[in-house]
Amino acid sequence: MLSPDVLVAAALSLFLFLALCGALVLVVVSLRGPRNGPLVAAGILVVLCLLVVTVSPVNVPLLVGLAIALLGTALAVLGGDPVTRRVLDVATHGAVAEGDNGGILLRAPSVIGGPEQPVREVLRGGTTIGYLERVAVALGIIAGFPEAIAVLVALKGIGRFSELAAAEARERFIIGTLASLVWACAVAALVRLAIW
């Protein structure tokens, strides 16, 4: 006969596994074009899982813990892209055009009566940097090294400093970084609480 503690731990482990699978599927569906419905549902699942692991300590078996860690890391990394894109769309009302290389297109201010200034792309590679940033943040938190977030933000700020002259670039940098980090931190914290 199984004890009630074992049954509760098994039920909570199964719930976490299925909820993370569901959130990952919803996020993958939103990778091509961020849509509110799937992203809100994925966010609700993540918050629900966070509440479960916060309120009820779960003794996750080793293999289930490994599966939850892998699912959570994938969710943190992949989910940050559509979430960040949607947050940026809402914040900028779609007024900032995206470039071919993952940046934004800006036109330098022109002098009245002067020649029209060329369009240039700033913050290039933002999508790739976001994926790498979320991998590092998720692994840092899961491994018990949340200081990695400070190191990443400092490196990112130094690396992008010269491109932040325009207000649109600063806004996109700050909002995009915060949205990406909040998503990755929430999912990684969920995994950390579930498996440690």
pLDDT by 10s per residue, the chain, length 196: 778 888 888 889 999 999 999 999 999 999 988 789 999 999 999 999 999 999 987 778 888 899 999 999 999 999 999 999 899 889 988 777 778 877 887 766 655 666 666 677 888 888 889 999 999 999 999 999 999 999 999 998 898 888 888 788 888 889 999 999 999 999 999 999 998 8
**pLDDT of the residue at 40:** 96
d(CA 1, CA 163): 64
**pLDDT of the residue at 50:** 94
**φ and ψ of 102, to 5 deg:** 85, 5
With tokens 């004890």, the residue in question is 3
**pLDDT of the residue at 107:** 67
**pLDDT of the residue at 25:** 97
Tally of CB atoms within 10 A around 123:
23
CA–CA distance from 99 to each of 3, 5, 37, 42 (Å)?
58, 54, 26, 28
**pLDDT of the residue at 108:** 63
Hey, where are the domains in the chain?
Answer: 4-195
Q: How many residues does the chain have?
A: 196
**pLDDT of the residue at 164:** 83
pTM: 0.88
d(CA 103, CA 66): 35
Contact 67, 20 (CB under 8 A): no
